[in-house]
Amino acid sequence: MNQISHCTDRRGFLKLAATGAAAFVLPNCARGDQKSVSKQAGRQNVLFMAIDDLNDWIGCLGGHPDVKTPNLDRLAAKGVLFTNAHCSAPACNPSHASLMTGILPSNSGVYHNPNPWRKSPVLKDAVTIPQHFIAHGYSAVGGGKIYHGGFPDPPSWQDYFPSQQNNKPDDPMPPNRPINGIPNTAQFDWGPVDAPDEEMGDSQVASWCISQLRKKHDKPFFIGCGFFRPHLPWYVPKKYFDMYPADKVTLPNVNENDLDDVPPIGRQMAKPEGDHKKVIEHDQWRKAVQGYLASITFVDTCVGRVIDALDKSAYADNTIVILWSDHGWHLGEKLHWRKFSLWEEATHNVLMMIVPGLTKPGRRCPRPVTMLDIYPTLIELCNLAPKNELQGKSLVPLLKDPKADWDRPALTTHGLNNHSLRTERWRYIRYSDGTEELYDHDKDELEWTNLAADPKYADVKKQLAKWLPEINVPEISRTADKEEQPPKPRKRKTKQADM
């Protein structure tokens, strides 16, 4: 339990300590002598949960003082929370594709949302995580957003909710959009929707997942459960907005001059004249933060329902739970909104794992890890055949001992040959034109002061640069990206999907 004291947030500490203690004493009641077939077969099941666009604004990561995430916090308290986990790409499609195949964007050429990842010559025949489980006798089913909207992958699954071709259930939409009054805003909008939780797409995904956990399974299972919120638009039921009155929300700590020491490619990623200018002009910053926090608490409720169902199921003691988000999100930091950058707000994401018989409750791992490490970790935990082409590294040593040695920085790539490397102390960014940023997290956790030009740090940069990828393949072709299109009007009964 002493590792909990490393939590940076006092509120988070108290919450974790309370739930962590509860996790220690909870008896395995109500399960009786039920034994699943999968336990008898000697292989643990996997509940693989994804949350889209969730940055580190969850209680147990201390990213935002106002946020309410009791369910994510109690899940984290059951096992290992990776506090320095980063995406391989700060955008939905390349992050999901690299995580599910274990291959870096710089090897596949899948850098952006409009890249149909199965068209990559490298990923065309790649065996995804669930495919590998199927090959080893597991059942593998999924629901919701495990792949980016436009590019579902039917070969990955034996069944899918709502369907193999449409991975996203419909969401109710408020009338008179955009609510925030920003013209031509597409999905960049927020506000309450007049609908009960159960009408929300993510609630339907949670219900589907719960129904899977209540089933009798003849084989060990791999269940993918992907939640879409807090992806835009931030339309969730009003009760979640009411938890965060806009006039009281805490805004991010932003330095108006932060981009002055950022190279041109970085400034181009930030686009301060784009979203940020519009948000300020329309006086929407507080309401946007409110919408993001409301969406987080909404999805936290969905997570809570699923973990309660697992705890009450026959599979509570022999199911590995892994929960990840695909990248972070800026809400004005560096005058930037959304993901699509190589700074902490965009690369830092959520990763927690509970492995019965291996992990201990309430552990926090500060080592820099990436989403690419998930695939080899699951292979080792479930005794699947090793796959030499995978570019991540198994996290099993860190699950056993969160302070074990770990030699590599976390690599994030945004576009061709733009990379970031994160260690426990440093962030080093190298853009395609050779320009650089270097931040010292011991003194500057908001990454305000770029030290790259200071000769004092030449050796730090040199040591980090050894980890930059040697291969940087060109971007593959692009197609229209459904998720970035404006929401279509929804007819009340037909529930038009808005991707």
Per the listing, tokens 């791992």 go with 365
Nearest approach in angstroms of CB 211 to Ca ion is: 26
Cβ closer to Ca ion: 258 or 498?
258
Position 350 contacts Ca ion (CB under 5 A): no
Residue 465 to residue 173: CA distance in whole angstroms: 47
Q: What are phi and psi of 42, to 5 degrees?
A: 85, 5
Asked if the peptide bond before residue 162 counts as cis, ω within 30 degrees of 0, the response is yes
Catalytic site includes residue 225: no
Q: Contacting Ca ion (CB under 5 A), which of 258, 300, 344, 345?
A: 258
Give the residue nearest to Ca ion (CB).
92
> Which residue stretch of 48-56, 150-158, 196-204, 360-368 sits at the interface with Ca ion (rule: CB under 5 A)?
48-56
State the catalytic residue, choosing from 92, 209, 225, 302: 92
Cβ closer to Ca ion: 143 or 402?
143
Nearest approach in angstroms of CB 384 to Ca ion is: 27
Name residues contacting Ca ion, limited to 107-166 (CB under 5 A): none
| Among candidate residues 365, 325, 322, the one with its CA nearest the CA of residue 348 | 325
How many Cα atoms occupy the beta-carbon half-sphere of 306 within 13 Å?
31
Nearest approach in angstroms of CB 51 to Ca ion is: 9
Biggest alpha carbon–alpha carbon distance for the chain? 66
Cβ closer to Ca ion: 151 or 221?
151
Cβ closer to Ca ion: 63 or 79?
63
Strands 419-422 and 410-413 come out as antiparallel
Whole-angstrom CA distances from 461 to 151, 408, 439, 456, 457 are 37, 14, 10, 10, 6
Cβ closer to Ca ion: 448 or 457?
448
Q: Contacting Ca ion (CB under 5 A), which of 7, 77, 92, 438?
A: 92
State the catalytic residue, choosing from 112, 148, 348, 414: 148
> Which residue stretch of 19-27, 254-262, 280-288, 435-443 sits at the interface with Ca ion (rule: CB under 5 A)?
254-262
Catalytic site includes residue 29: no
Residue 135 to residue 156: CA distance in whole angstroms: 11
Nearest approach in angstroms of CB 144 to Ca ion is: 12
How many Cα atoms occupy the beta-carbon half-sphere of 318 within 13 Å?
20
> Which residue stretch of 250-258, 401-409, 451-459, 466-474 sits at the interface with Ca ion (rule: CB under 5 A)?
250-258
Residue 306 to residue 300: CA distance in whole angstroms: 10
Whole-angstrom CA distances from 262 to 27, 56, 142, 205, 417 are 53, 23, 41, 41, 17
Site string for Ca ion, 380-419 (x = CB under 5 A): ----------------------------------------
> Which residue stretch of 52-60, 126-134, 155-163, 184-192 sits at the interface with Ca ion (rule: CB under 5 A)?
52-60
Residue 160 to residue 327: CA distance in whole angstroms: 24
Q: What are phi and psi of 408, to 5 degrees?
A: -110, 145
- What is residue 74's DSSP assignment? H
Nearest approach in angstroms of CB 308 to Ca ion is: 26
Site string for Ca ion, 421-450 (x = CB under 5 A): ---------------------------x--
Cβ closer to Ca ion: 145 or 364?
145
User: In a 10 Å sphere around its CB, with 0-12 CB exposed, 13-18 middle and 19+ buried, how is residue 206 labelled?
Assistant: buried
Residue 280 to residue 76: CA distance in whole angstroms: 35
Could you give the residue ranges of the DSSP H alpha helices within 189-256?
201-214, 238-242
Cβ closer to Ca ion: 12 or 144?
144
Residue 492 to residue 374: CA distance in whole angstroms: 40
Nearest approach in angstroms of CB 483 to Ca ion is: 9
Nearest approach in angstroms of CB 60 to Ca ion is: 20
Provide the residue count of the chain.
Answer: 499
Site string for Ca ion, 224-243 (x = CB under 5 A): --------------------
Nearest approach in angstroms of CB 54 to Ca ion is: 8
Cβ closer to Ca ion: 9 or 484?
484
Using DSSP, state whether 376 is helix, strand or coil: helix
> Which residue stretch of 129-137, 222-230, 272-280, 326-334 sits at the interface with Ca ion (rule: CB under 5 A)?
326-334
> Which residue stretch of 124-132, 214-222, 252-260, 430-438 sits at the interface with Ca ion (rule: CB under 5 A)?
252-260
Q: Which positions are annotated as active-site residues?
A: 92, 148
| Interface residues toward Ca ion, by CB under 5 A | 52-53, 92, 258, 261, 326, 448
